[in-house]
Amino acid sequence: MSNRYELPPVDFGSDLVRYAFEIERLRGNLGGGTTPARTLTELHALFRVVMSVISARIEGNRTTVYDALADIPAVASGRPATSDSLREITNILAGIDFIDTTDPARPLTHVLIRELHRITVDGLHREGDRTPGEYRANEVSINGSAHTPPSHVYVHAEMSELLDFANRDMPTHEQMLHAAIAHHRFVWIHPFTNGNGRVSRLFTYAMLRRNGFDSVPGYRAVNPTAVFGNDRDGYYAALEAADDLSPTGTVAWCEFFVRGLRHDLERLVQMQDFAFVMDELIDPAIDRLTTSGAATAAESAALKIAVRHGVVKAGDLEPALPGSPSQRSVTIRSLVERGILVHDERGPRFYRVSLARAPLGQFVIRQLDALGYLPRILKDDEPSGPA
């Protein structure tokens, strides 16, 4: 294996080492909080949409996260995407789903990488590829970059070397550097004619799952895309700095990656505190929903009860929805029809709040923005309606 896949020498007192140790401390705190796994799963579903929008936004897609939340359920139900931009986002979501249903212990392979590419570019025009799921058979250049990727003749061999590196078993304190270097080397190889950025971010997400971030329920939301979306220009500059494959450039890139991931983990650890999640995120989002006119005060009170219970039956909502059972059923049916409540898998008489769908999901996003949780790349997004 070439020396481009050796971890660079790092000064023990450097910021990179400090960030790596902080990540391990934060990772040790995952899974020990008070937020129910069901609520974390709902938030993960919401974060999946956010990450997909960010990945597409990095490539120039201007679909807002609010529009994506409103439109994605229709696509999921079988309707065709209304635009190429929306399809790009739903393709990235499909890539995340594909990774999430793959055993994280399985090696990363050529087949997996090519399938991620096929999923990512499927049916696209502006951001598609004439040979989905196939490594490039032509020479390419990268817009705005001085780096010239290897000739297509060497792509398969280069990817084999990268995958050998990506599948190494690494000690815990080196796993973040491992993922960072693999991400850069993927982009450096540029194995596809188009879609390399989107696939590289999915590939790195798969690496993080292999490195232990899939072991705690609800924490699949650890996704490097948030790091890149928080500073798009810095992302490209840090990648460019590593293109000469020097230890100095590689360390600079790794520091960018690890610093951003540590920041994202800090916020995820905070999501373990159910009191924080309710008081600072979900209750204010429900209040925003009510202020917008999308829910009544009684419905808002019922939703707050439902979130705290996790799963409810109609009788559990009586304190917020007094009156006859039939009146309560009418209100519940209305909430279900609007996508605010959904049926739980336990049966048709069990309900839970949907945090990951419009309209409530859009207000959760607004509250995440107010808390400073949204990457800067989404800061200019505005919902179509009042928020």
**What's the confidence (pLDDT) of residue 153?**
98
How many angstroms separate the CA atoms of 51 and 221, rounded?
9
Closest CA to 181 of 4, 22, 17: 4
Higher pLDDT: 385 or 351? It is 351
Q: What is the pLDDT of residue 220?
A: 52
What pLDDT is attached to residue 40?
A: 86
Give the pLDDT confidence score for residue 360 in this predicted structure: 95
Query: What is the percent of the chain with per-residue pLDDT over 70, rounded to a whole number?
Result: 95
Check pLDDT > 80 for residue 382: no
Q: What is the pLDDT of residues 64-96, one digit of tens each?
A: 999 999 888 777 666 778 899 999 999 999 999
Res 239: pLDDT = 94
- Which of 350-359 are b and which e, b meaning 16 or more Cβ less than 10 Å from the residue's Cβ? ebbbbbbbbb
Task: Tell me how far the alpha carbon of residue 54 is from its chain's centroid.
Answer: 8
DSSP states of 340-374 = SEEE-TT-TT-EEE-SSSTTHHHHHHHHHHHTT-S
pLDDT of 133 higher than 60:
yes
Mean pLDDT along residues 194-203: 96
Please tell me whether residue 22 adopts helix, strand or coil conformation: helix
Per-residue pLDDT band at 381 (split at 50, 70, 90) = confident
Q: Residue 209 has what DSSP assignment?
A: I
For the chain, give the number of residues.
387
Q: What is the pLDDT of residue 384?
A: 59
Residue bearing the bigger pLDDT, 354 or 268 = 354
Boundaries of every domain in the chain: 3-270, 274-378
- pLDDT for 216 equals 53
Q: Which residue type sits at 109? A: T
Mean pLDDT of 28-55: 87
| pLDDT of amino acid 372 | 86
Question: CA torsion, points 284, 290, 295, 300, in degrees to nearest 10?
Answer: 50
**Residue 214: per-residue pLDDT:** 64
In sequence order, the β-bridge partners of residue 385 are none
Which numeric CATH code is attached to 274-378?
A: 1.10.10.10
Closest by Cα among 175, 168, 234 to 375: 234
Rounded (to 5) percent helix, strand, coil in the chain? 60, 0, 40
pLDDT bracket for residue 10 (50, 70, 90)? confident
- % of the chain exceeding 90 in pLDDT: 64
State how far the alpha carbon of 302 is from the alpha carbons of 50, 279, 282, 353, in Å: 27, 16, 13, 10
Whether the CB-CB separation of 196 and 185 falls below 8 Å is answered with no
110 given a catalytic annotation: no
Mean pLDDT (the chain) is 90
Give the pLDDT mean for 53-64: 92
> Has residue 25 got a pLDDT over 90?
no
In the predicted model, is pLDDT for residue 383 greater than 70? no
Residue 305: closest CA among 325, 326, 335: 335
pLDDT tier for residue 225 given thresholds of 50, 70 and 90: confident
DSSP for residue 280: I
Q: What is the pLDDT of residue 95?
A: 96
Highest mean pLDDT among 32-36, 64-68, 318-322: 318-322
Query: What pLDDT does 299 receive?
Result: 97
CB 121 within 8 A of CB 132: yes
Instruction: At 297, give phi and psi (nearest 5°).
Output: -60, -40
Largest CA distance in the chain: 73
What CATH number has the domain spanning 3-270? 1.10.3290.10
Annotated binding residues for ATP, written as ranges, equal 235-236
Structure confidence by residue, pLDDT tens digits, 356-369: 888 999 999 999 99
pLDDT in tens, 248-280: 999 999 999 998 888 888 888 888 899 999 999
Annotated binding residues, as ranges?
235-236
Average pLDDT of span 320-326: 95
Cis peptide bond prior to 107, omega within 30° of 0: no
Which distant-in-sequence residues (6+ apart) come within 8 Å of 365 by Cβ? Answer: 46, 50, 65, 66, 69, 374
Catalytic residue among 117, 178, 183, 190: 190
Q: Residue 168: is its pLDDT beyond 90?
A: yes
3-class DSSP state for residue 352? strand
Bridge partners for 343 per DSSP: 351
pLDDT for the residue numbered 363: 95
If pLDDT is split at 50, 70 and 90, which confidence band does 1 have? Answer: low
C-alpha 191: how far from chain center: 23
SS3 for 312? strand
- For residues 252 and 271, give the distance between their C-alpha atoms in angstroms, rounded to a whole number: 30
The pLDDT score that the predictor gives to residue 180 is: 94
- According to the model, what pLDDT value does residue 215 have? 52
Q: How far apart are CA 211 and CA 170, in angstroms?
A: 8
b/e sequence 271-288, b meaning 16+ C-beta within 10 Å: bbebebbbebbbbbbbbb
pLDDT, position 305: 97
